[in-house]
Amino acid sequence: MGVASLLDGVRGYGHGVAHWIAAHDATLLAVAGLALAGLAGVAVYRRHRRKSALARAARLQWGVRELKERLRLRLEEPKAPFADSIDRAPTLGVCESFEADIEAAARTVLLEAGGRRGKAKHMLRQRLNGGELNGSEAAYWRQLGALSLLDNTRDALKAYARAVELAPDDQQAQMLLGVLSLRAGRLEAAEMAFRRQMELAGDAGGEAARYRAGTMLGDVLAAKGEREAALAAYQAALRDAAALVAREPDNAPWQRDMSITHDRIGDMLLEQGHLDLALESYRRSLAVAEALAKRDSANAGWQRDLSVAHDRIGEVLERKGDLDGALASFRAGLALAEAIARRDPERIEACWDVSVSLDRIGDILLAKGQAREALATYRRGLDLAEEAAGDDPARTGWQRDLAVSYHKVGSLEALGGNDSEARELLERGRAIIARLDRIAAYQAQWRSDLAKFDQALGNLGA
């Protein structure tokens, strides 16, 4: 075949294709349209999946932050075995450790459960019961414990106890078990855990773990009523903390821990009636808190520490009869509390702190014979206390303090001859106490109800 014939054949084939395309133009356009639509659909689907994945990740991240916040509030709840002064003291390094366990769960089982905590706990129990583990069994129990703590201490305590059985040389697990045992009122178990943590910390290189464990051991001893032993534990912990601060003076967390330990020592001395020694310890804490607050004025935690330090000094000065000094300290604490509340007006704890400071100032003004000024100050505090306590009626301690505020303001209104206002305020306060009394009356029934829930939950597995 010649080149010319070949070219004629190609041209003929091309014309044939062209005629076919022309004849089937609509069909081809439809097919092409479907193909393009399909490709576009695939692209949209992929974008949707990416957006959905990003949205799920964002929801999970937000959920983990919410869990951490709830955990922080859970750890701040009142603990019955504590005296009031110890009850308000921070628990050193514990929140961070619980948060680390929540983070570990978020990377695995919580992610698989779509952020649903109940499902994540169920999945953890299934894996623990079935032995389908991809990692440390003790770590799985710790994750289960951290997720359970948001609901009740009992399940969390069981999980962390199992984690300690599996890893008895884990200092952090011992610490968390000790804290949960203390919260549950199991003081002997708490003491054993903290002493074991101190033993594992050793003498060289373990000062941080040892002084934190020693401070919390002091809390246990104080809860047991062993005041001298608690004071000795705090003082030993302070020596370790001071040595670390001397070695690394720019380490802010260690400085804060040292300040907290000074507070614990001051609490013990104050309970024993050693006012001057308690005041000295509180002032040392204040000096550290002032330095930290100046270092980072945006750190609300450090600013609150400084506010509390001023309040503690004010309490001692009030007991010593130095009303002017106490008033100055309480006003310094109030200024800091108000600044914190302005930064975060939605945080009811900050609002409550301001109301407490105002109440203390009112007490001093009344003791100085300035009843009118005291009433105005109490009124300001009462307005804030109503706002804060009204948002959270489950906080029985706040509810009682609110009732006390009603009594103070009502009594002063009565002294001023304003009987109708006084009656209304006093009746509000009485209604709160009556409600708390009814709650106490139902505690036995609630314990029975809780036992039924615990039994039903226990039937679901480990």
Q: Helix 300-319 vs helix 348-367: angle between axes, to the nearest 10 degrees?
A: 20
Does residue 102 form part of some domain? yes
Q: What angle do CA 71, 75, 77 make, to 5 degrees?
A: 115
**Cα–Cα distance between 26 and 228 in angstroms, integer?**
97
Residue 257 is encoded by which pair of tokens? Answer: 């821990």
- Tell me the per-residue pLDDT of 162-192, one tens digit each, with 9 for 90 and over: 999 999 999 889 988 998 898 888 999 999 9
- Tell me the per-residue pLDDT of 26-48, one tens digit each, with 9 for 90 and over: 554 555 555 555 565 555 556 65
What mean pLDDT is reported for the chain? 81
**Cα–Cα distance between 344 and 337 in angstroms, integer?**
11
Distance in Å from the first CA to the final CA of the chain: 86
**Cα–Cα distance between 406 and 443 in angstroms, integer?**
26
The answer to whether residues 318 and 278 touch, using CB atoms and an 8 Å cutoff, is no
- The pLDDT score that the predictor gives to residue 99 is 81
- The pLDDT score that the predictor gives to residue 29 is 53
Does residue 235 form part of some domain? yes
Does residue 371 form part of some domain? no
Mean pLDDT is lowest, of 33-42, 268-277, 382-391, 427-436, for: 33-42
Residue 375 has pLDDT above 70, yes or no: yes
Q: What angle do CA 161, 67, 214 make, to 5 degrees?
A: 45
Residue 430 has pLDDT above 80, yes or no: yes
* 3-class secondary-structure state, position 132: coil
Residue 134 has pLDDT above 70, yes or no: no
More confident residue, 441 or 296: 296
Residue 10 has pLDDT above 50, yes or no: no
Q: Which DSSP letter does residue 323 get?
A: H
- The pLDDT score that the predictor gives to residue 129 is 84
- The pLDDT score that the predictor gives to residue 292 is 93
The percent of the chain in helix, strand and coil, each rounded to the nearest 5, is 85, 0, 15
Q: Which DSSP letter does residue 145 get?
A: H
Q: Which DSSP letter does residue 392 get?
A: -
The answer to whether residues 386 and 402 touch, using CB atoms and an 8 Å cutoff, is yes
CA atoms in the 13 A half-sphere facing the CB of 451: 6
Does residue 429 form part of some domain? no
Does residue 22 form part of some domain? no
Evaluate if pTM is beyond 0.85: no
Does residue 408 form part of some domain? no
CATH label of the domain that carries residue 187? 1.25.40.10
Does residue 309 form part of some domain? no
Domain that holds residue 241: 63-68+81-295
What sign has the CA pseudo-torsion 170, 176, 178, 184? negative
pLDDT above 90: percentage of residues in the chain: 44
Q: Kindly report the length of the chain.
A: 462
Mean pLDDT is lowest, of 61-75, 200-214, 257-271, for: 61-75
What is Dmax (Cα atoms) for the chain? 127
- The pLDDT score that the predictor gives to residue 7 is 42
**Cα–Cα distance between 161 and 210 in angstroms, integer?**
20
More confident residue, 414 or 21: 414
DSSP string, 230-291: HHHHHHHHHHHHHHHHHH-TT-HHHHHHHHHHHHHHHHHHHHTT-HHHHHHHHHHHHHHHHH
- Tell me the per-residue pLDDT of 315-346, one tens digit each, with 9 for 90 and over: 999 999 999 999 999 999 999 999 999 998 88
More confident residue, 114 or 383: 383
Residues 359-378, mean pLDDT to the nearest whole number: 96
Residue 214 is encoded by which pair of tokens? Answer: 């020693």
Residue 341 is encoded by which pair of tokens? Answer: 């509340």
Residue 455 is encoded by which pair of tokens? Answer: 């039994």
Total number of domains constituting the chain: 1
Does residue 99 form part of some domain? yes
Residue 80 has pLDDT above 80, yes or no: no
**Cα–Cα distance between 371 and 87 in angstroms, integer?**
32
